[in-house]
Amino acid sequence: MINYRNITLILLVLITSLVGCKNKPEEKLNSEISAENKLNSEVTLETPKTIEKSLQETAEAIYNPDSTYTLVFNKKANWKFVVSNSDENINWEQLKPIELSNDSTYTTNQKFKERMFFGIVNDLGDTLVISNRQIPLLGLSNFRDIGGLQTTDGKTVKWGKIYRSDKLSELSNNDVQLLKTMNIKTVIDFRTASEVTKEPDVIANDSYFDYKNYPTGPDMKDKNKYLEMLREFESPEDSADLLKEITGQFPIEWKDTYIKLFENLVQTNQPLLFHCTAGKDRTGLASALILYVLGVDKNTIIDEYLLSNFYRQEDNNKWISQIAQYDIDPEIIRPFMDVRKSYLLNAFNTIEKEYGSMDNYVKNVLNLSEKDINTLRNKYLY
């Protein structure tokens, strides 16, 4: 009997392995897919719509190419700020007033060679710590910090402690050095054996890092075989429905991966990074589970999950234009490249159906005791 669930997951791994490369998509495709699968004619696509940021925050920090920071304020107020290289050593007595441009932004005069954190307050009573969510690495587009999110009891996920990303096979030497200056020690790779063999993490053999590979998903050998299957999909809705189903199976069929992830989070006292290929599916669920355990509400968890669409839109559009040359409707491919609210909600719904509640899953499947949960919250929340 054909296991359609595994085939769907294999197709997902195929697409993300093809789109996970940030640079030179046409070279990547030509090396991965046999020549007979490619059409001779070029394909013209409509201009894609710009994807807006899903996560709306009171204020955010953006690290600019010229090494300055721009602070964006989404709440009108009189703001003051202080800058520090540590989120836990901010001198709140050194707050200075901010003169905003266009009533919402402030760009620093000073340039910074390291990641900075900003303590900000306003006359409405808000006190926040912010930093750049996306980490600017040369070879990645979806490397980000999951800190700065509010919990339902008024606490905040700490910045600089838990990171998520796409694959680390294209890191530059400067990128690796940046990871070290950010004190990232544990690196957890969710990719399968064939994915890791094809594109190993640059840091895998660096003794500084504690690299761990927890293969998640069926392994894949013949990409051309599964590429042919993509041509059998009849509509984008079919693709989306299958992705919704398979995302719902991640926490069930691949629960061992997430059990090990939480074991590491409980045990380590240093910043941790987890990733897959595109940093959106296996990694996206991991982030959602972590945020749930820390007490973040589901709407915020979903918004954080959907940020992959924002950060990956340029890369995804490049790949859509290339893969369309292989006689595959690009709109059928797009659901494999996106993350969607319905995907994550189905994962939550599947957990609740199988185990009665998210809390039961946390306790009985992830094996997190009340002591473990308190340890995680004390460690990763302000």
The reported pLDDT for the residue numbered 21 is 52
pLDDT, one tens digit per residue, over 29-51 is 455 544 444 444 444 455 566 78
* Dist CA 195 CA 178 (whole Å): 24
Task: Fill in the amino acid letter for 136.
Answer: P
Question: Which of 183, 146, 145 has the alpha carbon at shortest distance from 269?
Answer: 183
Domain map (residue ranges) of the chain: 4-34+49-54+137-380, 59-125
The reported pLDDT for the residue numbered 250 is 94
The reported pLDDT for the residue numbered 294 is 99
Q: Is the dihedral of CA 95, 97, 102, 107 positive or negative?
A: negative
With beta carbons less than 8 A apart as the criterion, state whether 131 and 146 touch.
no
The reported pLDDT for the residue numbered 17 is 60
* Dist CA 105 CA 54 (whole Å): 19
The reported pLDDT for the residue numbered 32 is 52
Residues of the chain with confidence (pLDDT) below 50:
1-2, 4, 24-26, 29, 33-44
The reported pLDDT for the residue numbered 317 is 85
Superfamily for 4-34+49-54+137-380? Protein tyrosine phosphatase superfamily (3.90.190.10)
The reported pLDDT for the residue numbered 227 is 63
With beta carbons less than 8 A apart as the criterion, state whether 209 and 185 touch.
yes
Side-chain half-sphere CA neighbours of 323 within 13 A: 27
The reported pLDDT for the residue numbered 382 is 92
pLDDT, one tens digit per residue, over 216-251 is 987 766 556 656 666 677 788 988 998 899 899 999
The reported pLDDT for the residue numbered 251 is 97
The reported pLDDT for the residue numbered 29 is 47
Q: Is the dihedral of CA 158, 271, 291, 172 positive or negative?
A: positive
Extended beta strands in the chain, E state? 59-63, 69-73, 79-84, 96-97, 105-107, 117-122, 127-130, 144-145, 162-165, 186-189, 210-213, 272-275
